[in-house]
Amino acid sequence: MHVLLVTIQIKPEHREAFLESMLDDARGSVLHEPGCLRFDVLQDAQDPNRIYLYEAYRDETAFQAHLQAPHFIRWRDTVKDWYAAPTQVFTCSNIFPSDAGWVKPPVANA
């Protein structure tokens, strides 16, 4: 498993456009990347301009494929000037459920 926790601080004037673009990338990831097991987009309850991502990929190869996907490149190029602070990315090891317990769930409301 290759898991990422990402914290993104965006400029307030770009929040709505950023979220629209972020959701395009998230949907593309879960719908079109077989190795993407989860891509959650969360908004901080205290600061609506702070966004958290939880991404789970089957392995490093699946993550590298994500970085080449058209929806990721479109997102990256669209939002590149909308950050209010450097993005924090934490790479994690999966503990529970075990890697064998992960299945790609159906996506509702994608």
Q: Let me know: does 80 contact 34? Beta carbons within 8 Å.
A: no
- Interval 54-97: pLDDT, tens: 999 999 999 999 999 999 999 999 999 999 999 999 999 989 88
Instruction: State mean pLDDT over 2-14.
Output: 98
Structure-token pair, residue 38: 């989860």
Is residue 104 very low, low, confident or very high in pLDDT (cuts 50, 70, 90)? confident
Mean pLDDT of the chain: 94
pTM of the model: 0.91
pLDDT number for residue 110 = 60
Domain locations in the chain as residue ranges: 2-95
Cβ atoms 87, 71 nearer than 8 A? no
Residues paired with 89 in a beta bridge:
6
Q: Does domain 2-95 have CATH number 3.30.70.100?
A: yes
DSSP annotation of 85 reads S
Query: Sign of torsion, CA 45 32 34 10?
Result: negative
